[in-house]
Structure 1
């Protein structure tokens, strides 16, 4: 049987990592409690260089 996945993408501004680590931690904890697993983080090169977080969970 093939495992099916749902995906969730979150874009974060750079300041979230620098000035709001507690808020970021709370959001990651919330998503984890909902069954989402963080599988990748990619820096998106733009004028603001935000981060894109990819999550998955069983469908």
Structure 2
């Protein structure tokens, strides 16, 4: 039987000083503890939002 996946996309918006690595890491750790695996990160534009893409086997 093939694996089935569920997907999740989280947007992290920058503050006045841009994206904060500790905020991104906290978000990744939070979802990792819930069984989500980070598969990709895309920066939308320079100094813009970051999109975090996760997957989890269901």
TM beyond 0.5? yes
Q: TM-score, normalised by structure 1?
A: 0.74
How far residue 42 of structure 1 moved from its aligned partner, in angstroms, is 0.7
The aligned residue for residue 27 of structure 1 is 27
> Which of the two has greater helix per residue?
1
The aligned residue for residue 17 of structure 1 is 19
After the TM superposition, which residues 45-56 of structure 1 pair with which residues of structure 2 at under 5 Å, given as runs? Answer: 45=45, 49-56=48-55
Contact 2:12 2:24 (8 Å CA) reproduced: no
Q: TM-score, normalised by structure 2?
A: 0.75
Deviations 1:3-43 (A, max 9, x none): 1000000001133733x61x432222121111000000011
SS in 1 for 2:19: helix
Question: Unaligned regions of 5+ residues in structure 1, if any?
Answer: none
What RMSD, in angstroms, separates the aligned Cα atoms of the two structures?
A: 2.2
The aligned residue for residue 58 of structure 1 is 57
